[in-house]
Amino acid sequence: MVKNSIFSPEMANIGYSFLLVLAAFLWGSTFVAQIEGNDIGPFAFVCMRNFIATGVLFGLANVLDKLGKNPRRPKNKEENRALWKAGLFCGLTLFFAMNLQQTGLYLGCSAGKAGFLTTCYIIFVPILSLFFGKKISTKIWLCVAITVAGLYLLCIKGDFSIEISDTVLLLCALAFAAHILVVGKYGPYMDNVRLSAIQFLVVATLSIFPMFFVDLKGSFAGFGNIVEVYSHFGPWIPLLYAAILSSCVAFTLQIIAQNKIRPTLASLLMSLESVFSVISGWAVLGERFTLQEGIGCVLMFTAVILAQVNLKRH
């Protein structure tokens, strides 16, 4: 007898899968904004981006409270402590992930190669999951392998060589993998908007220290350069795009969607950010879309669909 549906439980929650694909689109289209934002230094950009995101999300949480649309709002001190504990762990992993990614771009890694290396978290997520006693099916491992092949075709144009910036971005991928697993642990039980806001507050606060000692070289006079840069309208565009759409919207969508979707499958869906980075470059910047890139996109979409199809029969 064939099962009534060939799709796994995650496919029944197709709306949540769509939220992760939307998040991937926002992340993929943010690489250009991140590169442009490096004029003030990688840590300064991450710091400002996340303070803006923190303010917006805490404001949104208060609005939802007043409208009675926030059933997971902490109801006592114990729940509030649990929320801040979860936000701290999410924020710590995200602090390393975001700053390592921004630093890799600052060191000169191209957006395409950065997309490939960052999205290698799809390898690290199932590997790290094994240490938490989670079993990963052969089908998921196959999907990961197909996705990595697709990523390579999509992002790597010439000979692949490892440089310092590449090593930094591989460490970034490891940190993003840890973040995905932490979100999968805490997200289903918390106020998602506040959890997202707290993690950004942690990232922004911790980023003050490398910003001051690295970007500003330990001198308060360096703040004058930041003020000068942002006295013009142009630099605000990439900063606000990264803060509002990539941070506020995309990372909050990740937390919401991972309530219903396993971390390994979530990582496959989010890996589509590389596909969208290439498509955005073609559509917005007029960059050439090659046959090799097209094959890479097809492979990645195939892997994502295969991951959600249940082939078992009984």
Say which DSSP state 262 is in: -
Token match 């009984």: residue?
Answer: 314
Q: What own/partner pairs with CB < 8 Å and gap ≥ 24 does 203-206 have?
A: 203/46, 203/50, 203/91, 203/94, 203/95, 203/98, 204/46, 204/47, 204/48, 204/49, 204/50, 204/51, 204/53, 204/54, 206/91, 206/92, 206/95
Angle between helices 77-106 and 42-67 (to 10 degrees): 150
Distance of alpha carbon 185 from the chain centroid: 16
Q: How much of the chain exceeds pLDDT 90, in percent?
A: 36
Instruction: Render pLDDT for 240-299 as a digit per residue (tens, 0 to 9).
Output: 999 999 999 999 999 988 888 888 788 888 888 877 877 766 776 566 667 887 788 788
- Across the range 7-16, mean pLDDT stands at 58
40-86 tens-digit pLDDT? 899 999 999 999 999 999 999 999 988 888 778 888 999 999 999 99
Amino acid at 122: I
For 160-183, what is each residue's pLDDT tens digit? 666 788 889 889 999 999 999 999
Closest CA to 170 of 122, 136, 242, 132: 122
CA 201 to chain centre: 16
pLDDT tens-place string over residues 253-264: 999 888 888 887
